[in-house]
Amino acid sequence: MNAKLVIATDNYYPRADGIARFLSEIIPRLKKHYDITVICPAYKNTISGIHDEINIVRIPLYNFYVGDFRPARFRRKEINEVIKGADLVFTQGLGPIGALTILSAHKQKKKTVSFIHSVEWELVPMAVKSLFLRRMAYPLMRRFTKHFYSKVDMIIVPSTGILDLISWEIGKKPIRVVHLGCDTKKFCPPHSKREAKKAIDVDQDAILIGYHGRLSREKDLQTLLRGFLRMKKHGKKLIIVGDGLPQLKTMFMRKDVIFTGTKFNVVPYLQAMDIYVLSSLTETTCLSVLEAMSCGVPVISTRVGFVKDYIEDGENGIFFDFQNSVQLAKKIEYLIEHPKMREDLGKAARATVVAGFDWDRTVKDLLTAFSSLKK
């Protein structure tokens, strides 16, 4: 009989983000080794397959948003009941579900592992619109984060850079690095870029500059749009695949921008892109960049999170400075003018992901980490 694993998350489909995609990849692999229960927000089940043979406990949501995030309600009793039957608890972040799960597991003396997908004291302040509240949120989130992660048995981070940052704050808590993965068979280059554009009903002669992910303040999508508008090249199109803050969605309602909303199968859209841009102010691994690279798309990115470690400037991608739309426009124009460089960067990007990022390896490392707590 398998041990019972409880996974607690405040981010889940249909809110498509890195955590939701992470769970959609690891759950089918982990359920071979554990009986799994997932505590998650009460969104409708829109993903088939990954929920087979696992239990889902859905927590109702509040009717307000923090940035583009709608928090779950604080349901301590429901979470306590689930934790009673757990052999191991695995949390994803410090929203209401994650935080209450950590408290419950600590009180019930359950072994608990927390995966840090984002640095809360960097991410949360950026989601706050008011500058005054943003300044207050930063020190409060640092104390909040330290308080909760001090109660878990192990922390897992996706990169050594995050490890250095977290270990400085958390202290002697055991921390392991587990890199995220990418399904390189699914996220693969198209046979023909023109056919890929035709498949999503885009002009086959257009140069398609793209982004896939949430529309939130920390992504700094204003810089992406400004950079696009500064370009003098004709025949260019910007494609935005994702959803989020209404004011950011409105910003992209233009004739020269293709706004698709959320797409659960993003492969055709990535395959159609000629250039991928990440303008974020904060990230950890950024699965959307790995997926674009795996599709052979050259990436122009800020030097952020783990991205600055797996991208080598001019070798398998290109960097630009934070919030510098002028520099971004010049780099996009340069790649448009040099199709051979786009091709070379795309091939090198694909090779980087194939060599270093694999979901089976991610799960193997997670299982090793989980097993070490039994000793």
What's the DSSP call for residue 319? E
Omega into 14 within 30° of 0, i.e. cis? Answer: yes
pLDDT tens string 242-252? 998 899 999 99
List, in order, residues 6 or more apart from 304 with CB less than 8 Å away: 278, 280, 281, 282, 283, 286, 322
Say what the pLDDT of residue 126 is.
59
- Rounded to a whole number, what is the largest CA-CA distance in the chain? 64
Does the domain made of 193-356 have the CATH classification 3.40.50.720? no
CATH 3.40.50.2000-classified regions of the chain: 3-181+358-372, 193-356
Residue 211 tokens read as 């982004």
pLDDT grade for 13, boundaries at 50, 70 and 90: confident
Q: Is 4 exposed, middle or buried (CB count within 10 Å of its CB: 0-12, 13-18, 19+)? A: middle
**269 and 263 Cβ atoms separated by less than 8 Å:** yes
Q: What percent of the chain has pLDDT over 90?
A: 72
Residue in the block written with tokens 């587990």: 178
Say what the pLDDT of residue 125 is.
54
Q: Which residues pair with 112 in a beta bridge?
A: 89
Chain-centre distance for alpha carbon 163: 17
**317 and 263 Cβ atoms separated by less than 8 Å:** no
Say what the pLDDT of residue 10 is.
93
When pLDDT is averaged across residues 314-341 and rounded to a whole number, the result is: 97
49 Rama sector, left if φ>0, alpha if ψ -120 to 50, beta otherwise: left
Q: How far apart are the C-alpha atoms of 185 and 23, rounded to whole Å?
A: 18
Cα→Cα distances 306→114, 228, 240, 284, Å: 19, 25, 23, 5
Say what the pLDDT of residue 54 is.
87
Chain-centre distance for alpha carbon 186: 18
Q: How far apart are the C-alpha atoms of 17 and 79, rounded to whole Å?
A: 23
Lowest mean pLDDT among 37-51, 54-68, 173-187, 323-337: 37-51
Q: How far apart are the C-alpha atoms of 21 and 124, rounded to whole Å?
A: 20
Say what the pLDDT of residue 44 is.
67
Question: 18 — phi, psi (to 5°)?
Answer: -60, -35
State whether residue 344 is helix, strand or coil.
Answer: helix
pLDDT tens string 165-189? 777 777 678 999 999 999 999 999 9
When pLDDT is averaged across residues 195-216 and rounded to a whole number, the result is: 96
State yes or no: pLDDT of 224 exceeds 90: yes
Average pLDDT, rounded, for the chain: 90
Beta strands in the chain (DSSP E): 3-9, 34-41, 55-59, 88-92, 111-115, 154-157, 175-177, 207-212, 236-241, 257-261, 275-278, 299-301, 318-319
Amino acid at 281: L
Structural fold of domain 3-181+358-372? Rossmann fold (3.40.50)
Scored b (16 or more CB within 10 A) or e, 166-183 reads: beeebeebebbebbbbbb
pLDDT tens string 273-299? 999 999 999 898 999 999 999 999 999
Say what the pLDDT of residue 121 is.
58
Residue 339 tokens read as 């199709």
Say what the pLDDT of residue 134 is.
62
Say what the pLDDT of residue 52 is.
66
Q: How far apart are the C-alpha atoms of 227 and 215, rounded to whole Å?
A: 17
Sequential DSSP letters for 222-283: HHHHHHHHH---SSEEEEEE--B-HHHHHHT-STTEEEEE--S--HHHHHH-SEEEE--S--
pLDDT tens string 92-150? 989 999 999 999 999 999 999 999 987 665 665 555 566 656 666 667 777 888 889 99
Say what the pLDDT of residue 241 is.
97
Say what the pLDDT of residue 65 is.
80
